[in-house]
Amino acid sequence: MSEMEITFPGGKKVAADWHGFTIMTDQPASAGGEGSAPSPFDLFLASLGTCAGIFVLGFIQSRGLSTEGLKIVQSMDWDPAEHRMRKISFRVVLPPGFPEKYKGAVIKAAEQCLVKRTLHSPPEFEITAD
């Protein structure tokens, strides 16, 4: 079992120490924080986009194709009544001249994202206190 240590460096900041990195979070000023770092939910959203991105990038690089101009535009549809995301969409913007025959495969590559796949089969959560 892997362990990540979560610490509280002050104010509304929460830090996660993982594999030699300290991942900082903060709340926006409107929520009592300083806005000095992304919120935990911002990191969650970024993890989805960057995860899809590494699979897309790997697919294109493995074929020796140009990545110039490659990007993913991630859109979020927020449901204010439920206070959650209704839908998250990814639009892969391919480099100019990208071969048409690979477009479907690029989409399939993005779908391999481990973060997204984990949401489809979520882990069990357990919270205890000492």
**pTM (2 d.p.):** 0.89
**Which amino acid is residue 67, in one-letter code?**
T
CA–CA distance, 60 with 14 (Å, rounded to integer)? 36
CA–CA distance, 53 with 47 (Å, rounded to integer)? 10
Average pLDDT over the chain reads: 97
CB < 8 Å & 24+ apart, contacts of 59-67: 59/102, 59/105, 59/106, 59/109, 60/95, 60/102, 60/106, 63/102, 65/95, 65/98, 65/99, 65/102, 66/95, 66/97, 66/98, 67/95
Contact 114, 107 (CB under 8 A): no
Please give the pLDDT value at position 14.
98
Tokens of 80: 């204010």
> What are the pLDDT digits (tens) for 51-60?
999 999 999 9
Contact 113, 52 (CB under 8 A): yes
> What are the pLDDT digits (tens) for 52-102?
999 999 999 999 999 999 999 999 999 999 999 999 999 999 999 999 999
> What are the pLDDT digits (tens) for 12-46?
999 999 999 999 999 999 999 999 999 999 999 99
Q: Candidates 3.90.230.10, 3.40.190.290, 3.30.300.20, 2.170.270.10; correct CATH number of 39-120?
A: 3.30.300.20
Element (H, E) at 13: strand 13-18
Q: Answer yes or no: is pLDDT of 1 > 90.
A: no
